Amino acid sequence: MSTSRLFPVLRRTLLQAAPTAIGIVILNFFLLRLAPGDAADVLAGESGSATEETMVMMRHSFGLDLPVLHQLVAYLSNLTHGSLGFSPLYNMPVAALIAQRLPGTLLLMGLALVIALVLGITLGTVMALNAGRWPDRLISVVTLVFYSVPGFWVGLMLIVAFSVMLGWLPSGGSETIGARLMGLAAVLDRLQHMVLPATSLALFYVAIYARLTRASVLEITSQDYVRTAAAKGLPPLTIAMRHVLRNALMPVTTVAGMHIGGILGGAVVVETVYSWPGLGRLTFEAVMKRDFTVLLGVLLLSSLLVIFVNMAVDLLQLWLDPRIEVRR
């Protein structure tokens, strides 16, 4: 891909990212302030005894006694200095807390997206090549089940099947406690713990990508250039990979980029079910403990992640279809 096509995409995305991120921070800040309670109430409840003077001192030390606009200005000022604030409940900077949980969520999301794309594109291609026959109908029913069943129920059923009944995979956590594994053994142990949560997170999107791939492949196989390639005597595999599947991936990659936010949101449920130490579980804990500073940091990071992934999708589409025009 030439730099003349690459730089306009990067420039346009970066120009849109800054106001979008600021708008998300401000909107989330005011929405979270509508929620009842705060960190001082949670700490007072955990301690079991807190006087009114203690509550006033805690709210003053956390900056919760300031007017809402003053709190917003202080938070934006911290952002300009590269700080996401300080968590009073975890007693550590929010950036350090997120840095501890982020790798786990990125690994889980990455594996779930790979599973969803590989299975979805494969099943969709099989459905298209067997349109109207029993493989198409069977896979359609299976994907409809994946799409209809709630994610937390899928997670629980996978635990019952593969952990409780068969004993093949661990039921939760990110590694075997106390094993102290190193090297390849540690990597394999981590993968074993990721299989069930990543599969639970991916199955919903497998159904979407399979149906989308089926429709795209059926549409493209009816195009003149595909029939021309077949008339020239090109092997069916070459036609399928170079002419059909490459063009069929365009809508799939577009939708996959849009689903990053949904996958990150689904990680909240999946990480809670499987006790996975990631951003999703951190978000759930922050909501329950009214730690709005942590929530704001997670939401900001999530928005930046979605923006970055959509930029990557734009670049991927430029590579898949050079005919796409770039607005300068």
For residue 320, the model assigns a pLDDT of 61
Q: For residue 68, give every residue at least 6 positions away whose Cβ sits within 8 Å of its Cβ, in sequence order, or none.
A: 30, 33
Local confidence band at 4 (pLDDT 50, 70, 90 cut-offs)? low
Of 92, 71, 89, 93, the closest CA to residue 25 belongs to 71
327 pLDDT more than 50:
no
Q: What is the pTM of this model?
A: 0.74
Tens-place pLDDT, residues 237-247: 676 666 677 67
CA distance to 76, 221, 282, 301, 302, per residue, from 99 (Å): 20, 46, 11, 11, 13
Fold classified for 99-288: MetI-like fold (1.10.3720)
Local confidence band at 10 (pLDDT 50, 70, 90 cut-offs)? low
68 pLDDT more than 80:
no
For residue 197, the model assigns a pLDDT of 86
326 pLDDT more than 60:
no
**DSSP code for 72:** H
Q: Which amino acid is at 216?
A: S
Name the strand (E) or helix (H) holding 86: strand 86-87
Interatomic CA distance for residues 303 and 112, integer angstroms: 19
Delimit the domains of the chain by residue range: 3-94, 99-288
Question: Is residue 55 a contact partner of residue 44, using CB atoms and an 8 Å limit?
Answer: yes
Interatomic CA distance for residues 284 and 306, integer angstroms: 20
Residue with the two structure tokens 């939708």: 255
The alpha helices in 130-183, defined as continuous H runs, are 134-148, 151-158
Of the given ranges (35-39, 84-88, 202-206, 296-300), which has the lowest mean pLDDT? Answer: 35-39
Average pLDDT over residues 215-243: 71
Average pLDDT over residues 73-84: 79
Higher pLDDT, 248 or 136: 136
Q: Average pLDDT of the chain?
A: 76
Local confidence band at 159 (pLDDT 50, 70, 90 cut-offs)? confident
Q: Between the CA atoms of 71, 77, 78 and 81, what dihedral angle is there, to the nearest 10 degrees?
A: 180
Question: Is residue 24 a contact partner of residue 305, using CB atoms and an 8 Å limit?
Answer: no
Higher pLDDT, 26 or 223: 26
